[in-house]
Amino acid sequence: MCGRYVSATPPDEVAKYFGALAPAPEHALSPNHNVAPTQTVYAVREREGVRSLDTLHWGLVPFWAKDPKIGNRMINARAETVAQKNAFRVPFSRRRCIIPADGFYEWQRLEGSKRKQPMFISRPDGEPFAFAGLWERWRDDNSLDADGEPLELRSCTIITCEANDAMAEIHDRMPVVLPPGAWDLWLEPSNADAEAAAALLVPAPSSLIRMHPVSTEVNNARNNGSHLIERADPIEA
């Protein structure tokens, strides 16, 4: 799974990397070294031929949901079933996005112990990951926003797949990482070719992965700061 990641690169740099329009200054997010579910995150979307870096709620809320809290359980979608699951089937065919990440965290089980070692995973070249994601629009006609319009929530989820050899050392799942050559196909809203999209949902090469142990401070989503991604001595089992 992917339940915590890092988004600290300035939005204008992220937007340039993905060939997208940057968000307006008032919508820019603060650097976050401990992004957690239900927070507002960046996502690259394409609509009417324009690619933009937008902000979405992490935890997909299906359009048919009666309560938006259902999104708390939908931070990830499994690649193996994303095209069939009721919550993800429609956005998989129409509303795909990319979730940029400077890196992500995963917790390694320690043999003979209930404790887990947090690990920070990033790219050896220092470039951001392009996680395959989906987004959805949920509307509550019974609640009004500040402008008197029905309340809307735009949310997203990160697709995961089986771990590659490098990741398998610490966990059996990992986020789907899209190579640059796949971005156009993935983001094009009019491309409803489910087979072509599904073919992209494979583990990234192990060469794209580097990792090191970090402090257990990252276990608490309230902790933040660049020190969280610094190498730390492994904890004792």
Q: How far apart are CA 220 and CA 217, in angstroms?
A: 6
Q: Which of 2, 97, 156, 161 is catalytic?
A: 2
The pLDDT assigned to 226 comes to: 98
Q: Which of 46, 97, 106, 136 is catalytic?
A: 106
The pLDDT assigned to 148 comes to: 57
Q: How far apart are CA 32 and CA 155, in angstroms?
A: 18
Other C-beta atoms lying within 10 Å of the C-beta of residue 128: 22
Helix (H, G, I), strand (E, B) or coil at 145: coil
Q: How far apart are CA 120 and CA 104, in angstroms?
A: 6
236 is catalytic: no
Question: Could you read off the pLDDT tens digit of each residue along the chain, which spans 237 residues?
Answer: 799 999 999 999 999 999 999 999 999 999 999 999 999 999 999 998 899 999 999 999 999 999 999 999 999 999 999 999 999 999 999 999 999 999 999 999 988 888 999 999 999 999 999 999 999 999 876 665 555 566 689 999 999 999 999 999 999 999 999 999 999 999 998 887 888 999 999 999 999 999 999 999 999 999 999 999 999 999 886
The pLDDT assigned to 139 comes to: 86
156 is catalytic: no
Look-up of token digits 């359980």: 73
